[in-house]
Amino acid sequence: MSRNTDLAGQFNRAADLMALLDENQFRVLATRKVARALEDLAEPIETLADERRLDAIPGIGKSSAEKIAEYLRTGHISEFESLAAQVPPGVLEMLNISTVGVKTAYLLWKEVGITDIPSLRKALDAGTITGIKGFGEKKQANIKQNLAFMETANARIGLGYAYPLACEFVNLLRPIQGIAKVAHCGSLRRGKETVGDLDILLAAQPNSAPATISPTIAATVNTHPETAEVLAAGETKITLRTRLGLQVDFRIVPLESWGAALQYFTGSKEHNVRVRQRAVERGMKLNEWGLFREEQHIAGADESDIYHRLELSYICPEMREDRGEIELADAMFRATAGGRPELDDPRLAFIGHPIPHHWTAVEVSDIRGDMHMHTTASDGHESIAAMIAAARHRGYQYIAITDHSKSQVQANGLSVDRLMAHAKAIRAAARSFSDIVVLAGSEVDILADGSLDYPDEVLRELDWVVASPHSALTQDVDAASARLVRAVSNPLVDVIGHPTGRLIAGRRGLEPDMQRVVMAAVRSGCALEINSHDMRLDLRDIHARLAVEAGVPICIDTDAHQITDFDKLQFGVMTARRAWARPENVLNSWPLDKIWAWQKKRRSGDADWQ
């Protein structure tokens, strides 16, 4: 954190404290103004102080300048510390719950004596907060929800940090002598949108028995620049904590247990319970060392072998949540074995009958193009030509360039005139390539009432229309559902981009009745996006599953604002696999001809588009 941000935080906190202590409103406002001025500074505060230019910053007076100087000299501001001494620290912490502002925290503290988050939670659960003005049931329910959200959002870490770090550890460990195999497992391998900790599994070379963490392995992980602290180091396991507070478990097993350990530590717990039960039902025993029949090791080196021995077809990690995958794998195993599988589990009805012999979840290599990306025309960092070059480099057959529409003022959204010129430029740039088709599109805003930011006659000029919500994201369920249903029903909309607008650690986004939105998409044939950005993953897994089950096409996009964003596709694909998406469910795995036929049929107003 820069000193500027750090200082701005100090002033903001002081303003909160003053408000909680009932200080003069104008002092509170002035203090907030200083915080904002500090946030907006383009130069490091140290430079300004050295050159005695603190007073020259607009909004910063003499006394604030003195406080800044004190902070730079000593690392703290004594006046602010004496404010802090007068407020219980838990009261300040309550301000981190969105919808708990200074006023609410003040009332909770002064009127009912609640001074920390645990006692707030208890009081909300018990329903004992009564008689405070403006603190009705609705408000309380709201706080409760945000409290729960904050707890889950803070405790877990997103894929954007966890995934590359796990890959880095795996790549560092793989070449070490004595190691036969390395892989990440746990929730990361299952493609969950956030992880509690990382689980990295190693298998020792068969002759280097027994399997133990060698000094080289220990040194490699302990001295990694991300490692902040080694929490435990044993014969077969090391646990460390990274700079961002993520725990990483490393375990080593003998090679003959590799598959069993991979299966065990991939989880989920719920899935594993079912698989172990199945072993018991067949007179076997499954644990992290292998599959046993009367103490005899009958499988364990190979993960898929374990599933087969239990009369299940292989189940991809992303599906291992006990959401019907065991029933599917059972039916598929019987189908491939020549038996006649029955659809005895209603959860599988959407798969169709007969159960296909080759049921495969979508993979990164199935994806033929990316249908949502930005250029410098709005808020992207690259030109049209650079985005096309990067897409060709990835081997894509087609892409759509979709810059923001006019209401996205802060993202430099395009007026109709600019949009038309941009479409012309995209088509001109595309003409130089015979190996990739570039669609001139737009990411048009879905306004609060579900209408679109450009009129239909403008949309009709485009090759591809992504419609996304960006503002008014706190609507209630009914308004949000009506808004999305209206957008989904417009035959000119090809796909709804990041349908809820949620940010994984930041905001809940719209919470529509997703069943209604999906049913509207079934009627209109509109596709729904899985936005692959690790902060979004929107649609999320369970919502995407609803869409897949209903037969709505899914579009897995990256919403790239720069070339490296194309790599985030992996996260979207993992989410799609968690939703049981097969290649045929994913629009951008289709050949372009099929996409065009689909679009033509929909745009011609053919209600029965399928």
The listed partner (ligand DGT, Ca ion, Zn ion, none) that binds 268, CB under 5 to 8 Å by sort, is ligand DGT
For Ca ion, the closer of residues 31 and 257 by Cβ is 257
Smallest separation (angstroms) from Ca ion to the CB of 546: 26
Smallest separation (angstroms) from ligand DGT to the CB of 156: 7
Q: Residue 315: exposed, middle, or buried by beta-carbon count in 10 A (0-12, 13-18, 19+)? A: buried
Q: Check if the beta carbon of residue 74 is closer than 8 Å to that of residue 94.
A: no
- The CA–CA distances, whole Å, from 504 to 288, 537, 546, 594 equal 33, 8, 20, 33
The listed partner (ligand DGT, Zn ion, Ca ion, none) that binds 491, CB under 5 to 8 Å by sort, is none
Judged by CB under 5 A, which stretch of 94-102, 147-155, 383-391, 460-468 contacts Zn ion?
460-468
- Residue type for position 343: L
Smallest separation (angstroms) from ligand DGT to the CB of 507: 22
Point out the residue whose Cβ comes nearest to Ca ion.
Answer: 186
The listed partner (Ca ion, Zn ion, ligand DGT, none) that binds 398, CB under 5 to 8 Å by sort, is none
Smallest separation (angstroms) from Zn ion to the CB of 407: 12
Smallest separation (angstroms) from Zn ion to the CB of 466: 8
The listed partner (Ca ion, Zn ion, ligand DGT, none) that binds 256, CB under 5 to 8 Å by sort, is none
Q: Check if the beta carbon of residue 99 is closer than 8 Å to that of residue 146.
A: yes
Smallest separation (angstroms) from ligand DGT to the CB of 320: 8
For Zn ion, the closer of residues 392 and 418 by Cβ is 418
Which H or E run includes 172? helix 159-173
Overall residue count recorded for the chain in this entry: 610
DSSP 503-537: BTTTB------HHHHHHHHHHH--EEEEE--TTT-
For ligand DGT, the closer of residues 275 and 587 by Cβ is 275
DSSP 198-240: EEEEEEE-TTS-S----HHHHHHHHT-TTEEEEEEE-SSEEEE
Smallest separation (angstroms) from ligand DGT to the CB of 242: 14
Neighbours of 82 (CB within 10 A): 10
For ligand DGT, the closer of residues 227 and 268 by Cβ is 268
Q: Check if the beta carbon of residue 131 is closer than 8 Å to that of residue 137.
A: no
Smallest separation (angstroms) from Ca ion to the CB of 195: 6
The listed partner (ligand DGT, Ca ion, Zn ion, none) that binds 468, CB under 5 to 8 Å by sort, is Zn ion
For ligand DGT, the closer of residues 151 and 461 by Cβ is 151
Smallest separation (angstroms) from Zn ion to the CB of 503: 11
Smallest separation (angstroms) from Zn ion to the CB of 450: 16
Q: Is 444 helix (H, G, I), strand (E, B) or coil?
A: strand
Q: Is 334 helix (H, G, I), strand (E, B) or coil?
A: helix
Judged by CB under 5 A, which stretch of 37-45, 47-55, 239-247, 463-471 contacts Zn ion?
463-471
Pairing of strands 179-185, 197-204: antiparallel
Residues binding Zn ion: number (CB under 5 A)? 1
Q: Is 99 helix (H, G, I), strand (E, B) or coil?
A: coil
Q: Check if the beta carbon of residue 246 is closer than 8 Å to that of residue 157.
A: yes
Smallest separation (angstroms) from ligand DGT to the CB of 186: 3
Q: Nearest-5° angle of CA 415, CA 419, CA 422?
A: 140
> Which residues make up the interface to ligand DGT (CB under 6 A)?
186-187, 192, 195-197, 199, 264-265, 267-269, 272
For ligand DGT, the closer of residues 179 and 201 by Cβ is 201
The listed partner (ligand DGT, Ca ion, Zn ion, none) that binds 585, CB under 5 to 8 Å by sort, is none
Provide the strand spans (E) within 113-226.
Answer: 157-158, 179-185, 194-195, 197-204
For Ca ion, the closer of residues 196 and 551 by Cβ is 196
Look-up of token digits 């044993």: 234
For Ca ion, the closer of residues 197 and 311 by Cβ is 197
For Ca ion, the closer of residues 186 and 497 by Cβ is 186
Neighbours of 512 (CB within 10 A): 24
Smallest separation (angstroms) from ligand DGT to the CB of 146: 22
For ligand DGT, the closer of residues 88 and 196 by Cβ is 196
Judged by CB under 5 A, which stretch of 5-13, 276-284, 466-474, 586-594 contacts Zn ion?
466-474
Q: Residue 502: exposed, middle, or buried by beta-carbon count in 10 A (0-12, 13-18, 19+)? A: buried
For Ca ion, the closer of residues 199 and 453 by Cβ is 199
The listed partner (Ca ion, Zn ion, ligand DGT, none) that binds 272, CB under 5 to 8 Å by sort, is ligand DGT
Q: Phi and psi for 200 in degrees, rounded to 5?
A: -115, 125
For Zn ion, the closer of residues 318 and 403 by Cβ is 403
> Which residues make up the interface to Ca ion (CB under 5 A)?
186-187, 197, 199, 249
Q: Residue 318: exposed, middle, or buried by beta-carbon count in 10 A (0-12, 13-18, 19+)? A: buried
Instruction: Output helix, strand, coil percentages for the chain, rounded to the nearest 5.
Output: 50, 15, 35
Q: Return the bridge partners of 399, or none.
A: 370, 438
Judged by CB under 5 A, which stretch of 114-122, 311-319, 464-472, 515-523 contacts Zn ion?
464-472
Q: Give CA–CA dist 56/34, Å, rounded.
A: 12
Which H or E run includes 149? helix 137-155
Point out the residue whose Cβ comes nearest to ligand DGT.
Answer: 267
- 468 in contact with Zn ion (CB under 5 A): yes
For residue 560, what is the DSSP state? Answer: B
- The residues binding Zn ion (CB under 5 A) are 468
